[in-house]
Structure 1
Amino acid sequence: MSKRHMKCLAGITVSTATALGLAAVPSTASAPRDLVVQPGGSIQRAVDAARPGDTVLIEPGTYRESVLITTPGLTLRGTGGRTVISPAAKTAKTTKAAKAANACATGGNGVCVVGTKGHTVDDVKIRALTVSGFTKSGIWASWTDGLSVRGVTARKNGTWGIAQERSTRGDFRRNTATKNGDAGIFVANSVSEEGGATDTKGTVVLDNAVTGNRIGVTARRVRNLVVDGNLLAGNCSGVFVVGDESKPAAGAMTISGNRILENNKFCPATPRLSAIQGSGIVLTGSEATVVRDNVVRDNVGTTPLSGGILLFKSFVGALNTDNSISGNLVRGNKPADLANRDTAGKGNSFVSNTCGTSVPAGMCAG
């Protein structure tokens, strides 16, 4: 055994490890450790005790708390659906000190990874757990680099299932995001400030199952990411790329190999967006985005954003430019499989797409 194991009950202490017969395991001050949290214990206490490189292992159970991670190189690992993180019970009073200690909870989030502009939190891994019922996000990240979220279920959270802003090189893979109030997976430059698109430096959204949300995957004012191999079904919209007039523009991303099926839930208009229903892939104000080799079927609605794959002028007037839509199978979508509703945009191409209907006519290969 190469790692030192410690049990986290009321706290994390060397005496507890000794009682478990683990103190004899050779270790050094810098050796990675496993800190184990059992039902009734505090995940946050374990996280606070962890050093870079440590793993916090969460045993099966329901943990009613929010978890704030500011330590780089930390791994938070559960046991899949048997490890559930849910909101803490409401209390009559919450002290100022308690609020300051866990801004994740006061923000309405489940698990937060938070750095600052001058000091990102790097290489945090979140694995195999469920976050459910938070008023804001299941997982929230800001000012991070190399965050990896895999095998996580984010369900019934009020806004986003898994969300990242002001961050680079995120890796969101083989997760389930279902029945969240807005996007199942959300990648943005900033949720609180206007400005040009952030270069995510290769963030990937791969092989996730995203169902029953308002929008499956939202990429808002970002560049340089990949959305590939995901199942997006039963949302109001499958994939939504959002740009505006700021520079650099959103785009330079690849949306490929996804199955985008029956995203026919109806979502009413918001202050930022009209009503949506039956939208497969929507590009607004995007440049140089590649949409290829997706299966987009049976997305049906009557809103301006309804249809299989659409180009739409952004709601602040930004045009789509130099986007490539090719090799997609687009069938059974209404009012059209392909729709270019941004005819003022320049350099956009529709090539070799298998579809039945298009607006304007003539864009289908068969």
Structure 2
Amino acid sequence: MQRVRTWLIRLGVGVLVLILGYCGTTALMPVPHDPVPEVTGAGASSVEPSFSGLQREFPPLNEPPDNPTTPEKAALGRLLFFDPILSANNDISCATCHHPDYGFADGLPRAIGAGGSGVGPNRTGGVELARNTPTLWNVGYATSLFWDGRSASLEEELFVPLTHPDEMGVDDPQALVDELRAIPEYVELFDQAFGGGESAVSVENIQRAIAAFERTLISNMSPFDRYAAGDVNALTPQQRRGLNLFRSAATRCFECHIAPTFASDTFRIIGVPDAPGLPHDPGRAGVTPDGQDGAFKVPTLRNIALTAPYMHNGVFQTLEEVIDFYAQGGGRAHGVENVDPFVQGFDLTEQEKADLVAFLYALTDESNMPPIPQEVPSGLPVVPRLDNPARDLVAQFNAKEPPNRVESGVPRILRVEPGETIQAAVDRARPGDTIEVPYGVYHERVVIDMSDISLIGVPNESGEWPVLDGQGKLADGVIASGNNFEMAFFQVKNYTDNGVLVEGVRGVHLHDLYVEKTGTYGVYPVHSTDVLIERVEATGVDDAGIYAGQCENVVVRDSVAYGNVIGIEIENTDGFEMYNNHVYDNSVGLFVDLLPQLTSKVARNGKVYNNISERNNTPNFAPAGSTASLAPAGTGLLVLAADYTEIFDNVIRDNQSVGIAIVNLALGFDENEIDVGPNPEFNWVHDNELVNNGYDPVPEVTSVGLPGADIIWDGSGDGNRFDQPGASSFPPLLPSSSWPEPLYRSYWHTLNIIKKLLM
């Protein structure tokens, strides 16, 4: 018996040592943190300066420090670009596939490489490559090259076609160098560009010179650019209508094709069908383990009229075909999964489609097109000039009126006259003016693209505000892109996509508005800085009644939202306050979130206080496939992957699934979609009144193993603290601000080990 007792004591001591060792080890182990991006992408700073609301500064050129562009390098690069000597058989130059007269593309569905003859759309024979030739206009701004983003610089990019056996086919780079060194003119030009005499002729300097030349291919004086700078006649009325469609939430073109480059270095699944006879192209997934299958780089729309056919594999011959594809919801119509949430489909009349195409023609500018050399130092033949019939169409569409720049003056008050549209009064305005709109019902979409404009409704004797009514046909009530925009004292009803959309603006004041049944969003400032939304009432919206996304310094206060999918949403925003609001009878009352695949990569530094969020039990009625459709009904406040949010002094009650939920992005998104820090970190919940939440959670909650509760935390992220004594919670034990860091770390690791074992 004594021996048994001894062994039991030893076993107990051993177990205790193991427990203490585990606790000590996990207490010392750090909790992983999400990386903090150097550039957030939030707010108007991501599109600044927005001089007129449309005119924005181009980003810096993607120029490596060891290869600053000089006239000598660019001049050498131009000759090399057009010289077939860079190919194994001296028969293909860069310009063979990137011809200046076809927008530095080739007019073919897919490029023809080694063994082909001819140039442009008449090139035949040889090896047909798998992808469409992208334009080189404004390629100097890109940080991801090729359709799949495999290269990060023009210098790196050049080496691929130079050495690929199906393209220029150089299998012995030193032999190419020797061939160039045998030409005295090239030796002199390399020496002028780089110094070092004959030794300056090298593969690396070939790459540097051509990259320097390509960085001079800048297109920035299109009719659109002149219009954005204040030349009101630079766009035709049809093109202005097309611009409005481009910027609308109906098409959402502007979400991915972002001014001024009309591109973005992101990779998106839009579901383009595979080219007949070719294997499936994995796109980004083919070059990086975390890439999504079928995701491709968002190309520029600059000079798009010159570069047909379209898409990564050239399956669409015309811009009209491209628009039809997007109108059908992209690949959704073909059964493609994981199509980007911005590609939802839309309805356009034939006139609207023609208007949108006309605007795309207004992005044409070849004023900086370099001349094709008459000859090159090798003496080999140079590509000829080609006739691109698209130029005649561009000339027909684009305006020829003389400039008429809008200048600021003494601020005026303009009143909409009887029988006049609001848009007509806006078109008479200049920066600084106030446009007064008398009571009435106006069936129109209003577009404001200049700064310092106030749009103010004038109530009737009964105090009723004027009404903007889209009659369930028009996409947006108001679209504004000018700095210091104010709108107040309106009812906005029955639009299919948005009530009020404000994009890329510094200084937004939306107040005293009633929005009802306006599609995706009620009020919708995006990519904006210094936003104040107050005394807004929103209802009947199938996403967020009140929304601010990818913004900086946002205040939403004294507002009411009910009967929406989401009452108030702050998305991918840096710095916000949400207070004194009342949200009820939505699916989700308040929503603070960080979503992937957007320009802004942060959601942080927010305060949510003195709000009432109650009875948000309306079944989710967002369109299938939209991000909003993922939001679980019965939620008072949802924090999705956001950081440094303080939640206090709110009343959150009678929400059937959960009062407050703080969770990771993985609950709603595939890991290959996630390009932001997925974990909610350093959020603090305290001193809220939580009553009768989680009493009947919806299946979307219970299906992932979560019960209903006042507070749900999925255990992800560092630094989350909960000071809510007496609140029901999952897990039952939540870390509070009184916990020392070692205890927090040990608990966090234990919780996540249990999660992994249960999954």
TM-score by length of 1: 0.76
**Per residue, is there more helix in 1 or in 2?**
2
Report the Cα distance in structure 1 between the residues aligned to 2:682 and 2:465, rounded to whole angstroms. 46
> 2:424 aligns to what SS in structure 1?
helix
Residues 588, 632 of structure 2: 8 Å contact kept: yes
Q: Going by fraction, where is strand more abundant, 1 or 2?
A: 1
SS at match of 1:139: strand
Is the counterpart of residue 58 in structure 1 residue 437 in structure 2? yes
- Tell me if 1:337 matches 2:710: yes
Where in structure 2 are the equivalents of 1:1-366 lying within 5 Å? 30-79=409-458, 81-87=464-470, 108-114=475-481, 121-189=482-550, 200-244=551-595, 248-267=601-620, 270-271=624-625, 272=627, 273-274=629-630, 276-300=632-656, 306-314=657-665, 315-316=668-669, 318-334=678-694, 335-340=708-713, 342-351=714-723, 353=724, 355-363=726-734
**Post-superposition offset of 1:251:** 1.7
- Letter paired with 1:70: D
Contact 1:178/1:211, CA 8 A, preserved across alignment: yes
CA–CA distance in structure 2, aligned partners of residues 310 and 77 of structure 1: 39
Secondary structure, aligned partner of 1:46: helix
Contact 2:721 2:735 in 1 (8 A): no
CA distance in 2, matches of 1:240, 1:89: 27
Match of 2:136 in 1: none
Cα shift readout 1:200-223 (whole Å, capped 9, x = no counterpart): 331111110111110011122222
Query: What amino acid is aligned across from residue 480 of structure 2 in structure 1?
Result: V
Distance 1:283 1:222 in 2: 13
Q: Tell me which stretches of 4 or more aligned residues in structure 1 moved more than 6 Å.
A: none
The CA deviation at 1:355 is 4.9
**What is the rounded CA distance, in whole Å, between the counterparts of 2:685 and 2:721 in structure 1?**
6
Q: Distance in 2 between matches of 1:138 and 1:78?
A: 15
Aligned AA (2:469): S
The 1:213/1:245 distance shift into structure 2, 3 A limit, reads closer
Cα drift, residue 40 of structure 1: 2.8
* Pairwise CA distance, 1:88: 6.7
CA contact (8 A) 2:613 2:651 kept: yes
Task: Measure the CA separation in 2 of the matches of 1:349 and 1:364.
Answer: 5
Counting matched residue pairs gives 298
User: 1:31 Cα deviation (Å)?
Assistant: 2.8
Query: Based on CA coordinates, which of the two structures has the bigger radius of gyration?
Result: 2
Relative to structure 1, the CA distance from residue 290 to residue 231 in structure 2 (aligned partners, 3 Å threshold; closer, same or farther) is: same
Q: Aligned equivalents of 2:608 and 2:458: distance in 1?
A: 31
CA distance in 1, matches of 2:446, 2:582: 28
Once the 2 structures are TM-superposed, how far is the Cα of residue 261 of structure 1 from its aligned partner? 0.9
Offset, 1:153 = 0.7
Q: Secondary structure at the match of 1:150?
A: strand
Separation in 1 of the partners of 2:512 and 2:472? 26
Q: CA deviation at 1:82?
A: 3.1
Partner of 2:138: none
CA distance, structure 2, for counterparts of residue 310 and residue 339 of structure 1: 5
Distance 1:49 1:249 in 2: 39
Distance in 2 of aligned mates of 1:146 and 1:212: 29
Deviation at 1:313, TM superposition (A): 1.4
CA RMSD of aligned residues (A): 2.2
**CA–CA distance in 1 between the matches of 2:596 and 2:502?**
25
Q: Does the Cα contact within 8 Å between 2:571 and 2:595 map onto a contact in 1?
A: no
Contact 1:356/1:364 (8 A) holds in 2: no
1:150, distance to aligned residue in structure 2 (A):
0.5
Structure 1 Cα separation of the partners of residues 652 and 594 of structure 2: 22
Cα 1:44–1:244 shift into 2, 3 Å: closer
Go from structure 1 to structure 2 and tell me whether the alpha carbon gap of 1:293 and 1:68 turns closer, same or farther (over 3 Å shift).
same
Q: What percentage of residue pairs aligned between the two structures are identical?
A: 29
**Alpha-carbon distance change, 245 to 45 in structure 1, aligned in 2, over 3 angstroms:** closer
Does the C-alpha gap of structure 1 residues 173 and 268 become closer, same or farther in structure 2, counting only changes over 3 Å?
closer
* 3-state secondary structure, aligned to 1:47: helix
| Residues 283-341 of structure 1 deviation map (CA, whole Å, 9 limit, x = unaligned) | 111111111111101011xxxxx30011111123611111111111111111211111x
